[in-house]
Chains A and B, each alone.
Chain A
Amino acid sequence: MQINQVMVSARPGDAVTTSALELRGLLRRIGRSEIFARYVHESLHHDVWELKDSDWLASESPEDDMIVFHASIGEPAVDAFLAGRPERLVVYYHNISPPELFYEYDPNLAGLLESGRRELVRLADRATMAVAVSEYNAAELTAMGYRNVRVSPLITDPQRLAGLEPPPAMQQWLGALEGPVIVFVGQLLPHKRPDFLLESFHVLTTYLQRPATLVLVGNHRLSRLSKALGDLTRELNLDRVIMTGAVTDPELAGWYGRADAFVTASEHEGFCVPPLEAMAHDVPVVARRFAALPETIGDAGVLLDPESGPVQMAEAIFRVLTDAALRAELIERGRRRVRAYDALAARTSLLRHLVEAAA
């Protein structure tokens, strides 16, 4: 029996790809296991197969084999591929970003997100089991008609950056930054509300605390959004905002290491790894109570109400930066949270589900 994984797009640093690679490591202890993707980043060509090479999947009894499909966006080619396969299917749901916010930046991408949800609904009857990385995702799957839904935390290692040293030039730069550094980690996508963060930062540095630095660490995915964020930064005179673009793991470790607070204004997350990584670096977390964020963060961060605006968030960041007792408590809770997130348990729980689906 082989358990292979299928995904739309394999990119380095992407949470879906990272979890697929982790899972493959586990599965290979049982037997043969490969990853197939419709789009493969060139740096992963030695690791991930392209979907068109799927004849590699040839098996003597494919009905006994299993495909784990990582659902995170729509893609007609993958949809058609899955429809034609005889293997048992397990849907591993990372969540699909809500398309509404994407239309004005990239209608094509929005269309893919939209069709992703439709494709997922169609797969409900075909899937032996669905695995959700959070209760939030599980509820969405159930609403889409999935019957056999299991929750298993995302396979990730919040400590994975421990011990990584940023390059010397970056260390110098970090040392020269004056005042507190507030860090956001995530792709610059509309539902993560980087605009909200810039507005909060404007309020913070105009009315409450200066100087401070805001660092948005993550890929620019939508040129129109990135340009608008750049324009907003200039027009609000936010000369201490840094948008890093894609970073290496040592650089990411450098940012977490320098951060005085981790913030996210995201309105939609299926799990959200960065807050856990921030906690692993003793960085207090401020976020908004949306989607799976309350599950991931638990009581170890400041979770603002969904209706709270940039002013509220600025005040929260200000408190976290200036209230030593609060900081200490949040850092302690963060450590407990990271310990409680047991990477091994996440792995065994997922494996247990897959074995059950295979039985």
Chain B
Amino acid sequence: MAEAEEVEELLEELRRTVEARRAQGFYPAGLEDDLSAHFRRIVMHRSAPDLSRLDASMERLRAVPGLSPDRIPSDSGVPGGPALHRGLARLLGRQTQGILEQVEELAAALRAVADELSWAVRQASTHVHTDLIAQIDTLQDRLSALERQPAGDAGPMALAELSRRLERLETAEEARKFRPSYSADDFESAFRGSEYDLKSRYRDLAARLLDCSPVLDIGCGRGEFMELLAEEGVTSSGIELDEELAEAGRQRGLDISPGDGLRDLATRADQSLGGLVLIQVVEHLTAPELLNLVSLAADKLRPGGRAVIETVNPQSLYVFARAFYLDPTHDRPVHPGYLTFLFRQAGFTGIEIDWRSPPPAEEVLQPVGEPGADANYERLNQLLFGPQDYALIATR
């Protein structure tokens, strides 16, 4: 063994030996891990204080026999002494007994105190003390972890990294937002029909909110439904996500604020609303938002208050062929059965569904005068050409 390579050879040979012995089971599996874990356990272990001396003293105290005049020796080396002692004992017997009783009483009380103290010491030492030490250990560990951070430099660096990440998140979130180049106004006038059409379509729904002031209209657009409410003598306010639409409504003298309707609803006082209206809104909500809406409605409407929710009817396939996907911000249609279920669960009563906007008669399959075929057409019509919208009306 004269070259460095030979040292390498020796090490290689040692490695092979260890591997071979492990394979033979000469060394138990996991031996090193067990040893190292064992040492970790020992290091982390904190022993409780030794109370054996206290235990021994308490044992001796308990073993002391009761007091008795019989245990006072009366023998004596002096002639006549024992007789004298016995005579004295007889003479002083009552006093001695009285003193002994008092001492016994005191001793019993002291024994009880000693027991209590012993118990208290044990409590303190086995629980409080070790717990405290363990807590101090933990605190020291955490403090050292803090101190381990290089002073000064890491703080700002970590902050910079955090704000970089935050910026990335914000950019991503920004990109996720739907920001069309057209205005909501353009979209509405292209597809939603004239203001006159809208009003005549919804006049009957507004009538369902008589005596329901004040009404909150979430997603009120330019406020056409609010105007219908005003015509019925019902006061209302509106929230509209699109600032341009909200502004257009305000210019018509309506109480409309731009903003997120759910967030606004959450800030209202409980039972402060008489009515809550969402027309063509819930199909824009995510499933959790819809849950949130129903539970907020239950909180914010006063007893007897009314929620009116109008939305597209997913039970009509015509809706998907014609209307639903025309609006790219539609998230998902809400099934009337599910919406009914949610409001019932939230404690609303008298829930009714008002089927609305049947497809134009000319698009519906016409009967051909053959009873068998017509029955089939009827079933197809129900599936394909069901009402395009429905309104759920629920009373708190």
Quick check: B148 and A99 within 8 Å, CB to CB? Answer: yes
Q: Is B36 an interface residue (CB 8 A)?
A: yes
Q: Is B147 an interface residue (CB 8 A)?
A: yes
A:107-139 near B, CB below 8 Å: 107, 110-111, 114, 118
CA distance A110 to B14 in the complex (A): 36
Q: For B10, what are the chain A residues with a Cβ–Cβ distance below 8 Å?
A: 302, 319, 326
Q: Is B321 an interface residue (CB 8 A)?
A: no
Q: For A111, what are the chain B residues with a Cβ–Cβ distance below 8 Å?
A: 144, 147
Q: Is B141 an interface residue (CB 8 A)?
A: yes
Q: Is A202 an interface residue (CB 8 A)?
A: yes
Q: Is A309 an interface residue (CB 8 A)?
A: yes
Partner of A231, one of B7, B11, B42: B42
Taking CB as reference atom, which chain A residue is nearest B27? A311
CA distance A224 to B39 in the complex (A): 12
Interface 1/0 per residue, B1-32 and A, CB below 8 Å? 11010010011001101100010001100011
Q: Is B63 an interface residue (CB 8 A)?
A: no
Measured CB to CB, the closest approach of chain B to A188, in angstroms, equals 13
Measured CB to CB, the closest approach of chain A to B372, in angstroms, equals 84
Quick check: A107 and B42 within 8 Å, CB to CB? Answer: no
Measured CB to CB, the closest approach of chain A to B122, in angstroms, equals 23
CA distance A231 to B145 in the complex (A): 27
Q: For A267, what are the chain B residues with a Cβ–Cβ distance below 8 Å?
A: none
Interface 1/0 per residue, A186-204 and B, CB below 8 Å? 0000000001001100110
Quick check: A202 and B43 within 8 Å, CB to CB? Answer: no
Quick check: B148 and A114 within 8 Å, CB to CB? Answer: yes
Q: For B31, what are the chain A residues with a Cβ–Cβ distance below 8 Å?
A: 203, 311
Taking CB as reference atom, which chain A residue is nearest B26? A207
Q: For B17, what are the chain A residues with a Cβ–Cβ distance below 8 Å?
A: 315
Interface 1/0 per residue, B36-57 and A, CB below 8 Å? 1011001111000000000000
A224-B43, A311-B27, A329-B1 known; A232 vs B38 contact (CB < 8 Å): yes
Measured CB to CB, the closest approach of chain A to B44, in angstroms, equals 8
B:130-159 near A, CB below 8 Å: 140-141, 143-145, 147-148, 150-151
Quick check: B4 and A310 within 8 Å, CB to CB? Answer: no
Measured CB to CB, the closest approach of chain A to B380, in angstroms, equals 75
Q: Is B72 an interface residue (CB 8 A)?
A: no
Measured CB to CB, the closest approach of chain A to B47, in angstroms, equals 9
Measured CB to CB, the closest approach of chain A to B268, in angstroms, equals 53
Quick check: B39 and A195 within 8 Å, CB to CB? Answer: yes
Taking CB as reference atom, which chain B residue is nearest A299? B4
Residue from A199, A305, A310, A319 whose CB has the most chain B CB atoms within 10 Å: A199
Measured CB to CB, the closest approach of chain B to A291, in angstroms, equals 18
Interface 1/0 per residue, A221-254 and B, CB below 8 Å? 0001100100110011000000000000000000
Q: Is A159 an interface residue (CB 8 A)?
A: no
A:171-211 near B, CB below 8 Å: 195, 198-199, 202-203, 207
CA distance A114 to B141 in the complex (A): 14
Q: Interface size of A by Cβ–Cβ distance < 8 Å? A: 39
Quick check: B39 and A228 within 8 Å, CB to CB? Answer: yes
Q: For A202, what are the chain B residues with a Cβ–Cβ distance below 8 Å?
A: 35
CA distance A110 to B1 in the complex (A): 42
CA distance A111 to B146 in the complex (A): 11
Measured CB to CB, the closest approach of chain B to A74, in angstroms, equals 11
Quick check: B39 and A232 within 8 Å, CB to CB? Answer: yes
CA distance A136 to B39 in the complex (A): 30
Residue from B1, B15, B26 whose CB has the most chain A CB atoms within 10 Å: B1
CA distance A299 to B39 in the complex (A): 32
Quick check: B27 and A199 within 8 Å, CB to CB? Answer: no
A107-B143, A319-B14, A326-B1 known; A118 vs B26 contact (CB < 8 Å): no
Quick check: B18 and A311 within 8 Å, CB to CB? Answer: yes
Measured CB to CB, the closest approach of chain B to A295, in angstroms, equals 14
Measured CB to CB, the closest approach of chain A to B147, in angstroms, equals 6
Q: Is A104 an interface residue (CB 8 A)?
A: yes
Q: Is A354 an interface residue (CB 8 A)?
A: no
A302-B11, A304-B11 known; A110 vs B144 contact (CB < 8 Å): yes
Q: For B144, what are the chain A residues with a Cβ–Cβ distance below 8 Å?
A: 103, 107, 110-111
Quick check: B14 and A312 within 8 Å, CB to CB? Answer: yes
Quick check: B18 and A235 within 8 Å, CB to CB? Answer: no
Q: Is A280 an interface residue (CB 8 A)?
A: no
Measured CB to CB, the closest approach of chain A to B130, in angstroms, equals 15
CA distance A316 to B31 in the complex (A): 17
B:103-147 near A, CB below 8 Å: 140-141, 143-145, 147
Interface 1/0 per residue, A279-320 and B, CB below 8 Å? 000000000000000000001001111001111100110010
Q: For A311, what are the chain B residues with a Cβ–Cβ distance below 8 Å?
A: 18, 22, 27, 31-32
Q: For B22, what are the chain A residues with a Cβ–Cβ distance below 8 Å?
A: 311
Quick check: A310 and B38 within 8 Å, CB to CB? Answer: no
Partner of B43, one of A104, A107, A207, A326: A104
Q: Could you list some 7 contacts between A and B, CB below 8 A?
A: A103-B140, A232-B42, A303-B11, A312-B14, A315-B17, A319-B10, A319-B14
| A-B pairs, 9 with minimum CB distance | A309-B32, A199-B35, A103-B144, A107-B140, A329-B1, A228-B43, A107-B144, A231-B42, A228-B42
